[in-house]
């Protein structure tokens, strides 16, 4: 089967991306299926401007930059990338082949590696008239590149970490930032809120609710209400960014006949194999005694999973991966 992958990775976040690179390095034909329009997972979709301090080799790295490094590393090996597809179910074709069915088709593979993190996540909608009309015409639920907002008037709605972090990040490029929150109190980290209040080009508007989003072909203004005084006014803006958070959901994956521990998949920690042979999992979606929910732990689980997958695909191979420094990378990798 020329179109069959050796391993199909469900989820293109940091753990899945490293899985693609490592599996490809050791000779496997890899396909990644990602539900979002782009790779990177939460790093790019939820907190692209936040710094990460607990991954090896970095004293502190912006999430977007870390994601781009992981994406580049994976793409060096030319895996097949499929985005905007939600995996729905898996069917056993024969003892050596699964058919992974998505909302747009099906993909053949010899093994499956689930790296879906907390699942796909949908943004909480902005509860204001006109929000749907101006989606991607000034209303954003996923943060695009900051340069898009250079010199602009940008409103951010929300009171949690995402909203405050995005407002701080936007203050570096935007002409004016308005942080709109319906309560006086913030759920975000107190040191972040203090930093926010010190920024000269940021106006914190509380308690305020967005009632209507208005414009022509593009967003132009917000109709807002100061709820404490029932006072209405119009705010001229160029963009509105939602910081209301996301609702994680495993979706159809939760109906798979795997052994579950609540919303997480039970695996054997020495192989990362699930209760279904040849289906593996790694990262925040897995459960086993002593599990640590950090990116670095997920990277370690990938090493364990890839070593076992490699041996499943070719039983003649050792259960241990060879050191890359001892491999002849001038030749195409071969799976045994």
Termini Cα distance of the chain: 18
Cβ(221)–Cβ(234) below 8 Å: yes
Residue 298's Cβ-count burial label (10 Å; 0-12, 13-18, 19+) is buried
CA separation for the pair 129, 113 (Å, rounded):
41
229 annotated ligand-binding residue:
no
299 annotated ligand-binding residue:
no
For residue 76, give Cα distances in angstroms to 58, 64, 69, 269.
21, 18, 11, 29
The SS3 call for residue 257 is: coil
284 annotated ligand-binding residue:
yes
Q: Count other Cβ atoms within 10 Å, centred on residue 29.
A: 21
CA separation for the pair 109, 117 (Å, rounded):
21
Q: Count other Cβ atoms within 10 Å, centred on residue 121.
A: 18
58 annotated ligand-binding residue:
no
238 annotated ligand-binding residue:
no
47 annotated ligand-binding residue:
yes
189 annotated ligand-binding residue:
no
Residues that constitute the known binding site for FAD: 34, 42, 47, 87, 121, 284, 325
Residues that constitute the known binding site: 34, 42, 47, 87, 121, 284, 325
């Amino acid at each position: 089967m020329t179109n069959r992958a050796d391993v199909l990775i469900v989820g293109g976040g940091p753990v899945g991306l490293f899985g693609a690179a490592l599996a490809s390095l050791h000779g496997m034909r890899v396909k990644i299926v990602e539900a979002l329009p782009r790779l990177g997972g939460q790093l790019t979709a939820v907190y692209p401007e936040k710094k990460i301090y607990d991954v090896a080799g970095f004293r502190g790295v912006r999430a977007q930059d870390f994601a781009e490094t992981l994406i580049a590393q994976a793409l060096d090996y030319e895996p097949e990338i499929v985005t905007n597809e939600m995996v729905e179910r898996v069917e056993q074709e024969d003892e050596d082949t699964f058919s992974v069915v998505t909302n747009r088709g099906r993909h053949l593979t010899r093994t499956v590696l689930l790296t879906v993190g907390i699942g796909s996540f949908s943004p909480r909608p902005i509860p204001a008239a006109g929000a749907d009309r101006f989606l991607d015409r000034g209303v954003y639920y996923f943060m695009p590149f900051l340069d898009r907002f250079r010199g602009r008037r940008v409103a951010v709605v929300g009171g949690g970490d995402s909203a405050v972090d995005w407002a701080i990040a936007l203050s570096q490029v935007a002409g004016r930032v308005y942080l709109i929150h319906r309560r006086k109190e913030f759920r975000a980290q107190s040191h972040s809120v203090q930093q926010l209040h010190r920024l000269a080009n940021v106006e914190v508007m509380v308690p305020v609710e967005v009632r209507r989003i208005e414009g022509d072909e593009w967003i132009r203004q917000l109709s807002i209400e100061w709820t404490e005084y029932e006072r209405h006014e119009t705010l001229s803006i160029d963009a509105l960014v939602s910081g209301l958070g996301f609702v994680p959901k495993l979706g159809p994956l939760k109906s798979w006949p795997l052994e579950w521990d609540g919303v997480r998949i039970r695996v054997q920690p020495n192989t990362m194999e699930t209760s279904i042979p040849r289906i593996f999992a790694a990262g925040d979606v897995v459960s086993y005694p002593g599990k640590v929910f950090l990116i670095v732990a997920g990277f370690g689980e990938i090493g364990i999973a890839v070593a076992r997958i490699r041996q499943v695909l070719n039983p003649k191979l050792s259960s241990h991966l060879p050191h890359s420094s001892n491999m002849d990378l001038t030749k195409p990798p071969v799976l045994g």
